Amino acid sequence: MELEDIVEILKNDPAKVIPDLLDDVREQYGEVPYIMNFLKDMPEIFIPKTLYDNSIMREFKHLDQETVELISIGVASTLRCEHCLKMHLRIAKRKGLPKEKILSAIMIGAVLSHASVLAESKKSLKAEYPDEGDENKEERELVCTPDCEVCKTAGKNLDQEAIELISIGVASALRCQHCLKMHLRIARRKGISKEKIFSAIMIGASLSNAAVLAESTRALASEFPGENVSQKEENGKREQCCDPDCEVCNIAGANIKSVTSKSS
């Protein structure tokens, strides 16, 4: 979505804009996610959020749509956000991503979750027992090596660029500085562009936000049942958390190369 389009949307009546945005989501992804349905009666939140989402997830310039979804799946599994994960699994399935690649992304999330716990715990332990370690060495906190579990887990189904971008997105969502720095160094050595790396980081940040919203709005809805029509299921199906037209696809989108342009 170009800046001119955003300006035009902001000029229009919210009562017209919201249905149009929801229709666009349905057309693109076949459903409306839970968060969007929950927020549609709050135009002051819904409209800017949806526009922000669009700028992340659907303006592909540097990453292709497959990579965006694989990063999203890795991050969602790491955050243990069932709603985000199911949403992006459905999108991935519709886009024809093979099960093997999807499983590899999930396994990367699992491996880095483990690594982040070790990294942070080791740092805290060292702080409490400073005299029992080697303080003369430069501490780099390499939580994994270039020949690490991540690469071994995913290497059969994903190329090295995809592995590192998923790892960076997951490390960002986990807020694991040591994991992130390690994979940033690996990505740089492998020649992955700064724009692609930034897109992966933004996907992690965006899905972290979506996960919080998903769990919180569902908890809110359970405590105040029937007070917001947006809590209802659409077409008999519970809607999921991440906007398909969401922050993930959109931030990545600013730096993602479209599959269509890639193949043409």
Residue 14 has what pLDDT?
82
pLDDT for the residue numbered 259: 38
Looking at residue 90, which CATH number applies to its domain?
Answer: 1.20.1290.10
Q: What is the CA radius of gyration of the chain?
A: 20
- Tell me the β-bridge partners of 237: 234
The reported pLDDT for the residue numbered 146 is 55
The boundaries of the domain holding residue 215 are 65-127+141-242
pTM over 0.85: no
Find, among 217, 216, 208, 206, the residue nearest to 39 by Cα: 217
For the record, the structure tokens of 21 come out as 């945005």
SS (H, E, C) 140-154: CCCCCCCCCHHHHHH
- Is 169 inside any structural domain? yes
The reported pLDDT for the residue numbered 39 is: 85
Please check whether residue 237 lies inside any domain of the structure: yes
| DSSP code for 130 | G
For the chain, what is the domain count? 1
37 in any annotated domain: no
Q: Let me know if residue 155 belongs to a domain.
A: yes
Across the 264 residues of the chain, what is the mean pLDDT of every consecutive 10-residue run? Answer: 68 84 79 82 85 68 87 93 90 92 93 85 81 50 55 76 93 90 92 92 87 85 67 42 54 49 42
Q: Decide: helix, strand or coil at residue 33.
A: coil
Residue 174 lies in a domain: yes
Residue at 168 is within a domain: yes
Burial of 15 (0-12, 13-18, 19+ CB in 10 A): exposed
Query: Nearest 5°: CA angle at 225, between 222 and 229?
Result: 115
Spatial distance between the Cα atoms of 47 and 53, rounded to a whole number of angstroms = 10
Kindly state whether residue 75 falls inside one of the protein's structural domains: yes
**For position 27, what pLDDT does the model report?**
76
> Per the domain annotation, does 216 fall within a domain?
yes
The conformational region for residue 138 under phi > 0 = left, psi -120 to 50 = alpha, else beta, is beta
What pLDDT sits at residue 133? 55
